[in-house]
Structure 1
């Protein structure tokens, strides 16, 4: 006995299910790529850098004969040729130096534990007065 089920229909591919699968794969690869980029950026931050060394150094005996020695201590205290001064006094001293000779060598010694801003403010004061011949003392 034959059962009549109606018209014979050709099988169809469910487009909704196919679109869902493709969308899911697209989202998976987008998220996976985003995580990969984050790992690459973090890895680049830890690249070891070999800093250059200075070929010529500024000898301490040259500071007294050719210029001024400014020292920034760990606590931010500023010393000029060994004497402690305030930032206002330093500004006046730099103004007087610039009035005589703008090519005066200014050597800045900053303690390695001093605030970077303190050293930069001394450099800023020198640049404001037109003293651009700066030497920063580094240790080996």
Structure 2
């Protein structure tokens, strides 16, 4: 039996207006909560500090200097080495009887990162865990 004589059946339609409203709200939320950062380059200027200089009354400190061209000196004596193990022996010799001296790394600002890592690796091989870096005050301040 057909009870709907003469009437055309309406086709269901999808209403896109609520869908568009929901999508716009989501888009606004994403745009408002997202931060856009552009990392073009890192500008690093090392080593300087504005801290007060500590007195040099620490006899247990071993000063290791690294020059810009990669030369090393321990307590103001120029040293050469071929491996971190050799450099660790030189550090132990400079420390004398001190079991855990403070290793002060005084690296030139133009020295390579690898040069400083070599000193840190030698200190680790020697069993020394106290490392610090020497800096200088900025000129004109």
Q: TM-score, normalised by structure 2?
A: 0.58
- On the 8 A contact 2:88/2:125 being kept in 1, the answer is no
Equivalence map 1:49-68=2 (5 Å): 53-57=50-54, 59=56, 66-68=60-62
Runs of 5+ unmatched residues, structure 2: 1-5, 8-12, 43-47
Runs of 5+ unmatched residues, structure 1: 1-5, 8-13
Question: Hey, what's the Cα distance between the residues in 1 that align with 2:17 and 2:116?
Answer: 64
Matched residue SS, 1:21: helix
Q: Which has the higher helix share?
A: 1
- On the 8 A contact 1:72/1:79 being kept in 2, the answer is yes
Question: Hey, what's the Cα distance between the residues in 2 that align with 1:114 and 1:22?
Answer: 59
Alignment root-mean-square deviation, CA: 3.9
Structure 1 segments, 4+ long, off by >4 Å, are none
Question: Hey, what's the Cα distance between the residues in 2 that align with 1:94 and 1:136?
Answer: 16
- On the 8 A contact 1:98/1:130 being kept in 2, the answer is no
Greater RCO, CA 8 A, separation 6+: 2
The number of residue pairs the alignment matches comes to 122
